[in-house]
Structure 1
Amino acid sequence: MVLGSRVAAAEPLDPWPRVASAYLVVADGELLWARNADAIRPPASLAKLMTALVLLAHDWDPDATIITSRTAAGIEGSRLGLRAGERLRAGDAFTALLVRSANDACVALAEHMAGSLAAFAALMNARAAAMGLQESHFVHPCGLDAPGQGSSARDLLQVAAEAMQLSEVARAVALTDAVVTTLDGRRLFMHTGNHLLGRTRGVEGIKSGYTGKAGKCLIALAHRDGHAVWLVMLNAPERWFTAQGMIDAAFARVADREGRGE
């Protein structure tokens, strides 16, 4: 686990009380700063990291043919632009899931694997229980707002850390752009929604998200000079500006401690 013990009192660890409804910053496994790290909030598309974990754990075949249902083609929010009946490789749909945060690819993958979105959400919750996540319950694989769906910054950090151990996830979330060609011959272009990639030094991913109830959300991982910083932000109105500052501050804190020989 990237972070073990629960936050008993966030007050002495909360230098940014207004940047997000909930956040936490971890450097080299140590909690530096947090606010409401165990509060249950809508996860938006950060839930897709749990979707990725479930997909890869169940007889994953990147060459399997995924057929886009009408439900998938008509889903709201961020989309790749798949049409009903259109076919594509599971591996390409997986790339769209994490790079474009494509809800149509997400639904198509979930339906292909579990038969329905409800059945797939049950698998997500089984995985959450197996991981010991105490504040997480999933209803929709894409993270769209739904009654009863929620998670915490701490739980989502654990999901993200486990996901990044998988090469398929680590590869996809580091991409700024990708192109997939459907099995029907249509080329579809995608660009990441993670504005830290290529702009903030050392950032390797991993996922952004937004819904009306969740607000702007982000999980980021950065490596610099042999050190690792994780940042989770839920409902962060100025997430890109503040995230970059918080990551820089975390690395400065690590460098200061290292300079003092701590």
Structure 2
Amino acid sequence: MAFVGTAHAAAPTKSKAKSSATQVRKAKAGVKQVRKVKSVALRRAAVAAPVVRAAPTFGQVAGLHAVEDPLSLKSSVAYVLDQDTHEVLFSKNPQAVLPIASITKLMTALVVVEAGLSLDEKLTVTEEDKDTEKNTGSRLAIGTTLTRGEMLHLALMSSENRAAHALGRHYPGGLTAFVAAMNARAASLGMTDTHYVEPTGLSSRNQSSAADLAKLVNVTSQVPLLRDLSTSREARVALGKRLVQFRSTNGLLANPLWDIGLQKTGFINEAGKCLVMQASMAGRKLIMVFLDSSGKASRIADAERMRKWLARQPGDAATVSTKL
């Protein structure tokens, strides 16, 4: 009786298992079909959706990218100067006045250092330091307190906008006095094409020319502190109870083929990718300016093209000059 009972019980179990397996197969097939339909729908939506193109840079609007040069640079403005002899080795649209993005922070740093303000004084990030121009974020939360020296480091190395703004806000007389000092210092350097409205570079109204920026790089590269901070590759900063790693925005600092004494990168949509440097090369100290470069890594690629081109030139190479 026990054996018969077991035999009769096993039969429906096997049938149920077969039915369950069939249901699973059907369910899987249904899921695949749903995924296929969704995939087709997404592809169709992607094709139908309008392509939203980024607004053109000021340089593109001005037609500066139409100017050809021997290196086929992606930057619409390029300028290379021998720092000692002041000989211009390469020049492409050097007088074009364009937004300079975070290259602005070099002047911010220069004004702070030349004011002789204590680098150990603690500054606190407030709501006033939030970006209301581009609504970008920051790793420096409201309430973060760092020394002026640390703020200066982050502004130059990692292009921290709140750090740069806090530096300007804590200047004697406040932000208005600081911007006035920035413009006064530019005038004293003969930077006649340059104008600043704030200390971060987020505003497209911060504008300059390559020839003017070469003057700024020349001066800032002679300040040991600014050389050290701008070429620092990384730093760990205490933000509250956490140690946070910050890194440089310039990948060339890790390249052994480069001997960079000072650098600053910049980017906003209106300015494109920007880069200025002071570097030693083939026994010469050079100042390089690249503005309004198109493409994610194009400013670095342009710098590499320039380095290789300069290495091939004899000591009395003729100046290359192109402009619109």
Q: What's the TM-score bracket when you normalise by the shorter of the two chains?
A: 0.7 to 0.9
Q: Distance in 2 between matches of 1:189 and 1:123?
A: 32
Task: Report which of the two structures shows the higher radius of gyration computed on alpha carbons.
Answer: 2
Q: CA deviation at 1:202?
A: 2.0
Among 211, 235, 245, the alignment partner of 2:292 is 235
1:84 aligned counterpart, secondary structure: coil
Among 133, 137, 144, the alignment partner of 2:195 is 137
Q: CA deviation at 1:196?
A: 1.3
| Aligned-partner residue type, residue 25 of structure 1 | V
- Equivalent in the alignment of 2:248: 192
Q: Percent identical across equivalent pairs?
A: 30
Q: CA deviation at 1:25?
A: 1.3
Matched, 1:170 2:227: yes
Q: Distance in 2 between matches of 1:120 and 1:211?
A: 22
Give matches, 1:83-102, under 5 Å: 83-102=141-160
- Equivalent in the alignment of 1:19: 74
1:210 aligned counterpart, secondary structure: strand
| Aligned-partner residue type, residue 248 of structure 2 | T
Q: Distance in 2 between matches of 1:74 and 1:129?
A: 27
| Number of residue-to-residue matches in the alignment | 243
Larger mean CA deviation between 90-99 and 13-22 belongs to 13-22
Among 16, 36, 40, the alignment partner of 2:93 is 36
TM-score (norm 2): 0.69
Task: Indicate if the aligned counterparts of 1:17 and 1:35 stay in contact, CA closer than 8 A.
Answer: no
Q: CA deviation at 1:178?
A: 1.1
Structure 2: gaps (5+ residues)? 1-67, 318-324
Q: Comparing both structures, which one devotes a greater share of its residues to helix?
A: 2
1:135 aligned counterpart, secondary structure: coil
Change in 2 beyond 3 A, CA 1:38/1:251: same
- Equivalent in the alignment of 1:104: 162
Matched, 1:247 2:303: no
Change in 2 beyond 3 A, CA 1:70/1:117: same
Q: Distance in 2 between matches of 1:55 and 1:235?
A: 27
| Aligned-partner residue type, residue 40 of structure 1 | V
TM-score (norm 1): 0.85
Task: Indicate if the aligned counterparts of 2:101 and 2:204 stay in contact, CA closer than 8 A.
Answer: no
Q: CA deviation at 1:14?
A: 4.5
Structure 1: gaps (5+ residues)? 1-12
1:60 aligned counterpart, secondary structure: coil
2:80 aligned counterpart, secondary structure: strand
Q: Distance in 2 between matches of 1:250 and 1:117?
A: 41
Task: Indicate if the aligned counterparts of 1:14 and 1:34 stay in contact, CA closer than 8 A.
Answer: no
Change in 2 beyond 3 A, CA 1:212/1:74: closer
1:24 aligned counterpart, secondary structure: strand
